[in-house]
Structure 1
């Protein structure tokens, strides 16, 4: 171990002790905007608001039967893969899903078939599809989280709708957004690492590619004119510690977000997500403040690339 690695391990261990809980706190009452900002946003600290969206009518209404009644023939964009890993590493490639346009009723059929379905289907467009694609049901939720909007001084940049099979997995990544994630039905499990763990989390550049299904056969098609994609090279649920021994120094938190719960996931936190079959969720992306925390992260990121090669 060189002196830089030793210093990083000691410094980040101290950061864990000072700033990162051993668990994701669960609170029962919504914070005020001031409490949210001072206790969580400024500290870059996640929490779960238990039952935080139980007043939404979506909790009692949203189901396959309701969706069949309200938008059965509606065309929706669905990410389809042979293995559930959309936007994820496969060998030396970063592979994106095939996007299919299909009737909502056909998508629901695939969800209800579950494990009997050979392909994995997931509505996961991250372009504020809740507001642009689902006007029929948008009145069943709130358009924003009041105390978060007051704290950030603006409404969400995007509101996204998520629904998929249990094999649909979100590979580990980070977002430059403050994230309020609401589960309507089912359960999502987030595996989390704080931003300060960046030197321990290996990244590589991968050839961009896309899944393509011809008949009943899946292939991977290289996107030859695209730039390499930097992505995280490790699966937190099955880490290769022989290849990436520094990863063992990460602080790992797990957040189980159930129907009616709201997770605050601060900007720049690394997260990997699994779900139960048919889980439905909505998330609100608020613009992050590019303040000293972002500068600190960029310093760690540059140090990791230039000195550690990660």
Structure 2
């Protein structure tokens, strides 16, 4: 595993299980996991999930630091545990068309044969993005939590899906509730970061039968397992500048995406602020920040059963998902 695939900081938090046992929130440090259900003073009455931790994040974080700094409690070997999606979000807010190079590449790829020259498409798309940035107009839509799967689970390609594509993304995880927060305060509401692979059925994006309505994100983005998440929640303070992280996806060992979050048109703070203008963001919610260049549409190579995607982002760890056909 490369250095940038190691989780940053002294610890991370995730969701685990052992054998047929129940899932539990755990603290990951040095290849071992502390079952956080056993840590006194950490929990309010109710459930003991990572989302419950995020609901009390300001109070919980110092206790997690303390737990990481002692040898109290049983530590389980990480390689003997199943690693699940680190949080169950109530809401997923997804940013589209947020990396300059990616947007340009997709515009060129979607241009009909015999249409505008590639250089014209690139110039017009770049001008469009400059206007959006100047007018502070991100593009954000809602995803469904039922699409979330674990960082090492299989991705099931639906029988109807002929053009499944990968989109590795930085995901901001909300701690404090956020509603109509200004961009200057938005990062105060981000508790942690994790990795999301926001898969897309490319043939379902545009409703050809209803062009006046446009995109069909329900079908294109939300089949079960189409959002591998994790492996961990890495506290924001350990990550540093979210606008300067490396996003890398390998397909069967070949690097397909390898870009810095510096290429984002709108940074994390802008996206969280913009989403909070429309909806009330809740602890555990995800704000996905868009995918960089290097998707399957760019390469002319879409996902097939048997493919293995490995995704990493600086300081957030590594996820690995095998693609399988629905009927298998």
> Structure 2 length normalisation: TM-score?
0.23
- Structure having the larger proportion of residues in strand: 1
